[in-house]
A and B are shown apart, each in its own frame.
Chain A
Amino acid sequence: MTAAATDARPVPTADWVTIPDLYRNPYPIYQKLRAESPVHWVPAVNRYMVTSYQACHVIEQDQERFSADETNSLMKRAMGHSMLRKDDPEHDVDRKSYGNVLRPKAIKEHWNAIFQANSDKYLAQLKAAGPGSDFIWDYAAPYAAENLRLIMGFHNASQEDMQRWSQTMIDGTGNYADDPEVWAKSEQSYNEVDDAIDEILPYLRKNPDASLLSGMTSMPIPLEAIRANMKMTIGGGLNEPRDVLGTTVWALLDNPDQLAQVLADETLYARAFEESVRWVAPIGMYPRETTADTVLEGVQLPAGARLGIVVGAANRDPAVFEDPESFNINREKKPHLAFGGGNHFCAGAWVARASVAQIAMPQVFRELPNLRLDPDNTPVDAGWVFRGMTKMPVLWG
């Protein structure tokens, strides 16, 4: 931890990395980076990218050296200063305001029935649209959005609002190009979410339910923090379950032997889920900032260094995972970093597991016999900070 700077290696620069290449397929880039050094300065991204499992793991366990409270954070501009960009003890106050809403007991008592009703509804719509419809946009996206809407308590919004808010604010968070149109849409959603919160809180005070916003009405937490945390949750609770659902179904359809295993034993959907988020982490990179000059896995970093913690790369580190580029539900179980770790461990992890692995996937494969990809209409996977299927037409029957 306190190795002298002279013992540490300088950070290599990876000037060959481009954002369009990362967006199309980041994994060959991560392989090349990881083989050379656990950390690189990447000019195109304007960050140090951390790609080894061990280095990412060290960072997420040490908020003293690696702060989540990033200077000039685009996320703070797009969504406000949420718990995701705070360190403890400030982070802990916000985190506790979520109470038990996203925990397994509440999921069993309240949310599973709602997830099931939503899956019934959107699967019926997918079937009505017929073979050739898009699994992501006709099922996974509205399903994830409607689940999140009800968990959060936005009784005055639609699932389409949730999808628009999520995407536009995520686009703001990633607006490194400072595109004014992206900011305009992001800011419009920011204001719409604030208005929706202001409108619904008095209603939920009179009509309490099991939702996050309802819980907030009795918590000692400032409105500004509620607003920021709700925006973070919209951005972090919709695209991700949508993407893990899409990616897992795609991977199973692409690996018929593994699909046959899962169909024969539905408890394996949980394994498929965990392997899917390891293989393609829906959130592939998140930021941290060094609080002082420091040495990370033998590499010297200056104070105030803006880091990208590339869990999408860490999860394919051959030092930890055998044959890491393959989707394999039978691989030796090892902890992946897709949900983050330490105090910022994903608050929605159990909701995602329940809604995707327990409810959606078994029902999809039960009710869409002979589900398969459309050979004449190729699916598209894309993204690196956020990665998932952007198009996945399917056939069945």
Chain B
Amino acid sequence: MAKISFHHSDGNVDVLDVDPGTSLMRAAVTNGVDGIVGECGGQAMCATCHVYVRPEYLDGLPDIGDDEEEMLECTAGPRDETRSRLGCQITVGDGLEQIEVDVPDDQI
């Protein structure tokens, strides 16, 4: 199992243990994590699974693809140049056994 922590601005944290291969978006939607919508089901089409990855986990992430880059320009919350990612494009396991992210206040 891999561990994902979603930090909310009110201080609450959702900590999920999920199967390797699960995306942050899918984990959040399946477990009812507030603030992650994931409207498009993971096609990098809707920009509603925006997260800010905590700096200590940035090195382990895949590069930002063209579709994700385009969507990061369409997020409701402000884009952070280094920390903003789409939750649907980050999958845990296979070297990323743990990750912590901050959930934006606005997703739509």
User: A345 to B29, Cβ gap below 8 A?
Assistant: no
Q: Tell whether B46 is near chain A: CB-to-CB under 8 Å.
A: yes
User: B108 to A274, Cβ gap below 8 A?
Assistant: yes
Chain A nearest CB, measured from B65 CB (Å) = 12
Most chain A beta carbons < 10 A, residue from B39, B67, B73, B106 = B39
Q: Tell whether A43 is near chain B: CB-to-CB under 8 Å.
A: no
Mask: chain A, 338-352; 1 = CB below 8 Å from B; 0 = not: 010111010101100
| Chain A interface category by residue count | 10 to 19
Most chain A beta carbons < 10 A, residue from B29, B43, B71 = B43
Among residues 58 to 108 in chain B, which have CB atoms less than 8 Å away from a CB atom of chain A?
67, 70-71, 73-74, 106-108
> Given A341-B39, A345-B40, A335–B74 Cβ distance below 8 Å?
no
User: B70 to A103, Cβ gap below 8 A?
Assistant: yes
Q: Tell whether B23 is near chain A: CB-to-CB under 8 Å.
A: no
Chain A nearest CB, measured from B70 CB (Å) = 5
Instruction: List, in ascending order, chain B residues with CB within 8 A of A345's CB.
Output: 39-41, 43, 45-46
CA distance A61 to B39 in the complex (A): 9
> Given A61-B29, A104-B73, A104-B74, A335–B108 Cβ distance below 8 Å?
yes
CA distance A184 to B71 in the complex (A): 43
> Given A274-B108, A333-B106, A333-B108, A341–B67 Cβ distance below 8 Å?
no
CA distance A105 to B73 in the complex (A): 10
Q: Tell whether A95 is near chain B: CB-to-CB under 8 Å.
A: yes
Chain A nearest CB, measured from B28 CB (Å) = 12
User: A341 to B41, Cβ gap below 8 A?
Assistant: yes
Instruction: List, in ascending order, chain B residues with CB within 8 A of A350's CB.
Output: 74
Q: Tell whether B51 is near chain A: CB-to-CB under 8 Å.
A: no
Q: Tell whether B53 is near chain A: CB-to-CB under 8 Å.
A: no
Instruction: List, in ascending order, chain A residues with CB within 8 A of B70's CB.
Output: 103-105
Q: Tell whether B24 is near chain A: CB-to-CB under 8 Å.
A: no
CA distance A345 to B108 in the complex (A): 15
Instruction: List, in ascending order, chain A residues with CB within 8 A of B37's CB.
Output: 335
User: A335 to B41, Cβ gap below 8 A?
Assistant: no
Mask: chain A, 99-122; 1 = CB below 8 Å from B; 0 = not: 010011100000000000000000
- Residues of B that sit less than 8 Å from A by CB: 29, 37, 39-41, 43, 45-46, 48, 67, 70-71, 73-74, 106-108
- Residues of A that sit less than 8 Å from B by CB: 61, 95, 100, 103-105, 274, 333-335, 339, 341-343, 345, 347, 349-350
